[in-house]
């Protein structure tokens, strides 16, 4: 009585300054999980808050539509109000200057599990390819090219004109969807259980035209053609998407 399982919708900006990491057993303030658990303790739940995050995020990854769950039990059999909790979480996160925000909280069934109940996970990689008619740049392309600052650490820039062939990229991407053994596309074996099943089904790996975060407001955006690489599956191996893309 009074115990409620809450589903949290969160965003986490992972490439700016020294932001928090995804999840794991690392203590606060190193992880999103740890930060949310510290904040959850402020609600004086009768049970120790244990936050479960739907997906681990590597350093530099922005989690824009992630989710989590936590069980809280209020004294006297009373229920927590999701709206009040949302305000309390974000007030705390704002004061601590962490690049993390709770977008909403909902009461969910006891059977809900943020990790195991996931239907799919989607990764988006953004490319900015320099146009042939863009202003010429010197030999040190990475350091002399003008780039939209809003895109910095949010997009991969390809500065050498003629280096990018979208038709070849699409042809390569078409080889990945389906059920396959992705053993050679996983990260360090030391980070994965020795008996892990490396057979995974990839729903899609699409290459589609993208858009700049700022349009006409940022003149240097016109120097580039943007592309999105979208990868979707129910689950991935450790660093599988990073190795594929």
Cα–chain center distance at 221: 24
What are the structure tokens assigned to 29, written together? Answer: 């303030």
DSSP class per residue in the chain = --EEEEEEEEEE--SSSS--B--SSPPTTSBHHHHHHHHHGGG--SS----EESS---TT--EEEEEEEEEEE-GGGPPPPHHHHHHHHHHHHHHTT-SEEEEEEEE--TT--TTTT---EEEEEEEEEEPTTSPP--S-HHHHS---GGGTTTSEEE-STT---HHHHHHHHTTS-EEEE-GGGS--GGGS-TT---EEEEEEEEEEE---SSSTT-GGGGGEEEEEEEEEES---TTHHHHH-
Catalytic residue among 23, 58, 133, 165: 58
Q: How far is CA 151 from CA 115, 127, 235, 241, in A?
A: 30, 10, 28, 21
Q: Is 58 a catalytic residue?
A: yes
Edge-to-edge strand ranges of the sheet holding 178-181: 156-158, 121-130, 224-233, 199-209, 178-181
**Residues with catalytic annotation?**
58
């Amino acid at each position: 009585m009074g115990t409620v399982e809450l589903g949290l919708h969160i965003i986490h900006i992972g490439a700016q300054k020294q932001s928090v990491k995804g999840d794991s057993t690392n203590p606060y303030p190193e992880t999103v999980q740890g930060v949310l658990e510290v904040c959850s303790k402020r609600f004086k739940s009768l049970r120790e808050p244990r936050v479960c995050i739907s997906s681990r995020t590597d350093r530099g990854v922005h989690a824009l539509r992630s989710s989590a769950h936590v069980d809280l039990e209020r004294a006297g059999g009373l229920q927590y109000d999701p709206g009040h909790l949302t305000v309390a979480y974000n007030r705390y996160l704002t004061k601590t200057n962490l690049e993390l925000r709770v977008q909403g909280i909902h009461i969910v069934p006891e059977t809900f599990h943020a990790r195991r109940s996931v239907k799919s996970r989607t990764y988006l990689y953004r490319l900015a390819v320099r146009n042939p008619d863009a202003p010429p740049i010197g030999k040190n392309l990475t350091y002399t090219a003008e780039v939209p600052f809003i895109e910095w650490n949010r997009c991969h820039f390809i500065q050498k004109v003629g280096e990018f062939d979208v038709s070849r990229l699409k042809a390569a991407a078409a080889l990945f969807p389906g059920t396959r053994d992705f053993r050679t596309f996983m990260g360090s074996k030391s980070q994965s259980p020795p008996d892990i099943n490396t057979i995974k089904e990839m729903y899609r790996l699409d290459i589609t035209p993208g858009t700049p975060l700022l349009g006409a407001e940022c003149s240097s955006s016109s120097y580039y053609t943007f592309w999105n690489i979208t990868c979707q599956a129910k689950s991935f191996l450790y660093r599988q998407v990073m190795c594929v893309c």
